[in-house]
Structure 1
Amino acid sequence: MSAPTGVVDEALVWLNDPLTWTEPGGVLDLTGEHLAMTAIAVAVASAVAIPVGAWLGHSGRGAGLVVWLTNASRAMPTLGIILLLAAGGLFGNSAAVIAAAFFAVPVLLVNTYEGVRGADPDARDAARGMGMSDGRILLQVELPLATTLVAAGLRTTIVQVVATIPLAALVGGGGLGQIIALGMGTQRYGEVLAGGVIVAVLCLAIDLVLAIGQRLATPAPLRSSAR
């Protein structure tokens, strides 16, 4: 019992040291870098997955194959992608961002596809009856109706990427994973525990903020139907 208690005590001491947070390269700096990497990875994934998922949901062309391939890609571990990129000569933040973006695409694509595909057929038919083009139907009717699922996909994706980015430290990248990697390298396991706690709290905090944002982004009529 003494060893675990010692690790917890060491973690508390480390977390309560003001320099841990404020010094250059401290927790605050690493958190900023962590969030920046997350934002880039999610932006890249969104730029690919949301338009493709929306168009497939609207047209239905090749949707089954693409969704199957997307789901199959989830079986490839993010760490494996990072190590493959490192073997190809790509290290640091770039490797982690690319791997996290690859990891983020499936959830976004499938949620967008399902949201657009499940849009109210009556609303779609009414838009066609008004002479709206396919593009306008997608942008002005189907995507707004798909807001709830797209927002849910973004929320899940962002939290998953925040939890994945610490792997960047294994290939020389930044972010909060540096705390865990440094603690493992120096056998300061209290620091490892503290780093894990910081990442977990960050994930929970972001999920809470995104849950509020998801509700605000959902049109009022859809909120009522969800209830």
Structure 2
Amino acid sequence: MGDPASSKIPLEDRPAQRSEVSKRTQKAPKADDVISTVTEDSFISFRKKFHFPNDLVMKVPARTDRACFPPPGYVTVFKFSLRAGLRFPPSSELIDILTICGVCLSQFSYRAMSIVMGLIVLFRDRGVVLSSECLSRMGRLFSDAQGRISFRSKWLDIRTRDPSKGWISNFFYVQNDWGLQEKWRKLKELSVPLHIGAEDLLRILKLPDLDALH
């Protein structure tokens, strides 16, 4: 009889083990590897649903185009950004934040875009401008290894998650009439002072108490 140990399947050859290794080594698609699925017909829907101005110039990406590298004079826009509240022309507050951070529009994740746009609307409703300094007091914009920007806050309890799948291929180009950064860049972090407190927020928004926000 042979050695029983010699009949055992090596750990790396076991099907279950190979499956786990495959899952760990499988990489998520990157924005510079994916072809856009947006078409001219998509623009008809976008104009109606997201109230694009008639003079907004858009361009369908070619099969060789990628989200990280828009043609000169254009910026990349993901469809999820529109669902997160982005409208054209971009608000002056958003332009200011993007400029100070040194990043382009398409680097903002759904979470970052929805929170920033939501705060802009909230502040405007109270007759106040959301400055980059105030935003840095409420939380922190940060970048992942691929350059995508998200938002973290200990003070704001906001849950945002885009339920759509295939978001990475839903991108198109818009003519850059606002002097925005066009290609992906490293995030220049905003100054991080002490987090804003409840009393500070009430003072800024001119509210009697926090219940007025509900």
State TM-score, norm by structure 2.
0.23
The structure with more strand, counted as a fraction of residues: 2
The structure with more helix, counted as a fraction of residues: 1
